[in-house]
């Protein structure tokens, strides 16, 4: 471990009764990384973020943020965080709330800049407790980015945002990462993780299942998609299922076959050996979503 690491989890475990919400997680986040935290509901994403932010304490193991404890890092203004459903103050306006956040930060950005970046300029005079879900989400984002922090933590940041707002949001986050900030976000939008993160962490039942680039995770399952068309009359689904390394076969009414294979080369070779003439053949890696499903399913199968 070096002092430049932004976040270090060392064999962190957090239990609720008998349930291990986070189970022996070890990971390191470095400056400038944009990291997505993926996992089905109940995988331990929120607990992981709570541990990272010092809102919960681990039962065992240690959490280090920017060389200190999480709480110290937050009080020093080195962490900006946005939770999924934090309430906002009543009886105050959006601008007043943002001014408060800027005032609390040791290295604040100018209030108009923070408002503009979060797309709040037009609603700056509205009451903070009378906003739509997406607007409130943008206010929480403004609170998280009121000053110059080294680490930005976002829990499901784009929930409730429309496509335009979502795009603008990620452009801002990219800009932050380019300036050397570490950005960690939990999401269930896999396209977002695929498009934005340079590193993806897959959490399942409190354990870290995969840690790498989106491309590495897609490849790590070793699975490939094979698709082709077969002329009518030559299609024998049972024969296709018997091809080597095939794990799944679906046939659409138009005669298009989609298969999943753990060894695409062997499958395609054997396919030609059947004496058929497949057209428009395509072999591709799994999408992140399919890789994610494959990963968690394998884990379920092992557990069962």
- Residues found near another protein in the complex (CB under 8 A): 50, 53-57, 74-77, 79-81, 83, 85-92, 96-97, 99-101, 103-106, 140, 143-144
- CB of residue 143 vs another protein: minimum separation in angstroms? 7
Q: Which is nearer to another protein, 117 or 204 (CB)?
A: 117
- CB of residue 93 vs another protein: minimum separation in angstroms? 10
Distance separating alpha carbons of residues 269 and 265, to the nearest angstrom: 6
Q: Which is nearer to another protein, 79 or 270 (CB)?
A: 79
Q: Cβ–Cβ contacts within 10 Å for residue 1, how many?
A: 9
- CB of residue 105 vs another protein: minimum separation in angstroms? 6
Residue keyed to tokens 């001014």: 99
> From residue 47, how far is each of 182, 198, 296 by CA, in Å?
19, 22, 19
- CB of residue 89 vs another protein: minimum separation in angstroms? 6
Q: Which is nearer to another protein, 143 or 200 (CB)?
A: 143
Q: Which is nearer to another protein, 144 or 186 (CB)?
A: 144
Backbone angles phi, psi at 193, to 5 degrees: -60, -45
Q: Which is nearer to another protein, 139 or 288 (CB)?
A: 139
Per this entry, what is the length of the chain?
Answer: 304
Could you write out the three-class secondary structure of 219-288? HHCCCEEEEEECCCCCCCHHHHHCCCCEEEEEECCCCEEEEEECCHHHHHHHHHHCCCCCEEEEEEECCH
- CB of residue 140 vs another protein: minimum separation in angstroms? 7
């Amino acid at each position: 471990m070096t002092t430049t690491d932004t976040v270090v989890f060392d064999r962190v475990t957090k239990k609720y009764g008998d349930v291990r919400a986070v189970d022996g997680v070890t990971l390191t986040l470095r400056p400038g990384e944009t990291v997505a935290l993926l996992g089905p509901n109940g995988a331990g994403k929120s607990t992981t973020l709570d541990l990272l932010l010092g809102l919960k304490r681990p039962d065992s193991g240690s959490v280090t943020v920017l060389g200190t404890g999480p709480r110290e890092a937050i009080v020093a203004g080195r962490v900006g965080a946005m939770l999924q459903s934090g309430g906002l103050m009543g009886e105050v306006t959006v601008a007043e709330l943002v001014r408060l956040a800027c005032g609390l930060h040791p290295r604040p950005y100018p209030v108009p800049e923070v408002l503009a970046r979060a797309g709040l300029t037009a609603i700056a005079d509205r009451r903070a407790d009378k906003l739509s879900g997406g607007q409130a989400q943008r206010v929480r984002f403004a609170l998280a980015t009121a000053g110059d922090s080294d680490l930005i933590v976002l829990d499901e940041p784009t929930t409730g945002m429309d496509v335009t707002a979502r795009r603008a949001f990620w452009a801002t986050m990219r800009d932050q990462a380019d300036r050397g900030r570490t950005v960690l976000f939990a999401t269930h939008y896999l396209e977002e993780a695929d498009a934005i993160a340079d590193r993806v962490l897959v959490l399942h039942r409190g354990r870290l299942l995969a840690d790498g680039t989106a491309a590495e995770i897609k490849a790590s399952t070793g699975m490939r998609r094979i698709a082709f068309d077969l002329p009518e009359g030559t299609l024998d689904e049972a024969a296709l299922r018997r091809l080597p390394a095939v794990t799944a076969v679906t046939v659409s009414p138009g005669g298009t076959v989609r298969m999943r294979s753990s060894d695409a080369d062997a499958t395609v070779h054997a396919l030609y050996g059947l004496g058929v003439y497949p057209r428009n053949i395509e072999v591709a890696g799994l999408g992140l979503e399919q890789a994610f499903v494959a990963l968690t399913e394998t884990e379920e199968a092992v557990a069962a």
